[in-house]
Amino acid sequence: MSVTDLLQRSELFSGLAPEQIEQIAALGREVVYNAGAVVIREGDPSDEMYVISSGMVEVLVSRGTIPDVPGPPQLTPIVRLGQGQLCGEMALVDRGARSATVRCVEDGTVLHVIPRQAFWALCDGDHHIGYVVMRNIASDLSFKLRHRNLQARLAGGAS
Amino acid sequence: MIYKVSYVVVGKPHPGAIVNLDAPPRVGDRVQLSGELFEVTEVIDLIPPRGEFAYLHVTCRPVQETT
């Protein structure tokens, strides 16, 4: 399956023609990670968004350091994301620091990396692509928020 | 149709998952989330479908191993 075929299965590109998806695909590159590899680290500056082509990642947030206990903040998983899902899109939209850590949970996880600057240039140059992609990012963020709400309601926020 | 599914796990600490599927999950299905096996106990339409995508919520619980 080609990169374009894989990306076509992501909601990010829903509503775009294959040639438009190819334009976006051409901006980025594919990177393969093994289980345990950290793709995004909370608090770091950001300039890329990721589409999961295959495999699975885990999103984790820090709960702060424990007083008098040395070491990094404890990381708590909040969701796992599989094929077709986005990660790193918040920083692409708001340009803030990374809000969470993203770590691969399966060997051979393939991510399509889209650089922010080139992506924004494409959206500025083609407002239809820009509108569709921004609508899809908003829809994806909304879906993730609904997932978190259900998680809190049904599982008591257990993670 | 691509089914974008939000899995929420009850019965054990687990962050749940969001994945795309080619077929809709059904109550009673067994699903593996990164190597862990769960049974689907509830499937609901989360929001109306749009384009090629349908959006589902699934509640699932750990499969009890029998010996």
Domain annotation covers residue B52: yes
State the pTM of this model: 0.90
How far apart are the C-alpha atoms of A74 and A60, rounded to whole Å?
9
Q: How confident is the model at residue B47 (pLDDT cuts 50, 70, 90)?
A: very high
pLDDT tens per residue across span A73-95: 788 999 999 999 999 998 788 88
Q: How confident is the model at residue B34 (pLDDT cuts 50, 70, 90)?
A: confident
**ipTM for the complex?**
0.90
**Cβ of residue A147 closer than 8 Å to a chain B Cβ:** yes
What was the pLDDT predicted at A134?
A: 93
pLDDT tens per residue across span B2-20: 999 999 999 988 999 999 9
- As a whole number, mean pLDDT of residues A85-110 equals 92
For chain A, the distance separating the N- and C-terminal CA atoms, rounded to the nearest angstrom, is 34
B→A interface, C-beta within 8 Å: 2, 4, 6, 8-10, 12-20, 33-34, 46-47, 50-53, 55, 57, 59
Residue A9, SS3?
coil
| Amino acid, res. B17 | A
Q: How many domains does chain A have?
A: 1
What was the pLDDT predicted at B66?
A: 61
Domain annotation covers residue A159: no
Contact call for residues A52 and A83 (beta carbons, < 8 A):
yes
Examine the pLDDT at A112 and tell me if it is beyond 90: yes
Cβ-in-10-Å burial (0-12, 13-18, 19+) of A69 comes to exposed
CB-CB under 8 Å, B18 with A85: yes
- Residue B32 is part of which domain span? 2-62
Selecting from A58, A84, A147 the residue whose C-beta is nearest the C-beta of B20 gives A84
What Cα–Cα distance (Å) separates residue A135 from each residue in A72, A73, A139? 36, 34, 6
CATH of the domain at A14: 2.60.120.10
What was the pLDDT predicted at A155?
A: 76
- Residue A58 is part of which domain span? 3-66+74-152
H or E stretch covering A132: helix A127-154
- As a whole number, mean pLDDT of residues A35-42 equals 95
Selecting from A83, A150, A158 the residue whose C-beta is nearest the C-beta of B6 gives A150
Domain annotation covers residue B67: no
Count Cβ neighbours within 10 Å for each residue of A82-105 and write b for 16 or more, e otherwise.
bbbbbbbbbbbeeeeebebbbbbb
Q: How confident is the model at residue B52 (pLDDT cuts 50, 70, 90)?
A: very high
Domain annotation covers residue B56: yes
Examine the pLDDT at A14 and tell me if it is beyond 60: yes
Most A CBs within 10 Å, among B6, B42, B52, to test the A interface = B6
